[in-house]
Chain A
Amino acid sequence: MRRCVSNHTLWLVAEGEARAADRAHVLACASCSARYRQLERDLRVLCLTLSGPPPAQRTWNPVPPVRRRWMAAAVVAAALTVVVWSSGWLLRPMPPSSLSIGERAAVWSFLEEVSLALFATADAEALGEVTEPGLEPEVGAPYAGFLDTWPCDDGTWWLNIKCETQPFLLAEGR
Chain B
Amino acid sequence: MIHANAATDQPTGYDELYHIHYGRVLRLCRLLLCDAAEAEDVAQEVFLKLLQACRTDTRAVAWGPWLTRVTLNACRDRRRSGWWKWWRDPRVKAQNDDIPVIERLTQGPTPEEEALSREVRERIWLAFRGLPPRQQEVFVLRYLEGWAIDAIAAALELSTGSVKQHLFRAVHRLRRTIGGES
Query: Interface centre among B101, B112, B122, by most A CB within 10 Å?
Result: B122
Please, which residues of chain B bring their CB within 8 A of the CB of A69? 87
Interface of chain B, main secondary structure: helix
Q: How far is the CB of B126 from chain A (nearest CB, A)?
A: 5
Report the contact-size class of chain A (Cβ under 8 Å from the partner): 20 to 34
**Smallest CB–CB gap between B109 and chain A, Å?**
6
Given the complex, which residues of B lie within 8 Å of A48, measured CB to CB?
105, 109, 113, 116
Partner of B99, one of A44, A53, A63, A68: A53
A56 within 8 A of B: yes
Name the interface residues of A4-60: CB closer than 8 Å to any CB of B: 7-8, 11-12, 15, 17, 38-39, 41-56, 58-60
* Chain A interface SS verdict (over half): helix
Binding site for B on A (CB under 8 A): 7-8, 11-12, 15, 17, 38-39, 41-56, 58-61, 63-65, 68-69
Q: Can you offer 30 A-B residue contacts whose CB atoms are under 8 A?
A: A11-B168, A11-B172, A12-B164, A17-B149, A39-B181, A43-B171, A46-B124, A46-B143, A46-B171, A48-B105, A48-B113, A50-B124, A50-B143, A50-B144, A51-B27, A51-B99, A51-B105, A51-B144, A52-B99, A53-B97, A54-B95, A54-B125, A55-B118, A56-B95, A60-B122, A60-B125, A60-B126, A61-B92, A65-B89, A69-B87
Residues of B within 8 A of A (CB): 27, 31, 87-89, 91-99, 101-102, 105, 109-110, 112-113, 116, 118, 120-126, 128, 140, 143-144, 149, 164, 167-168, 171-172, 174-175, 178, 180-181
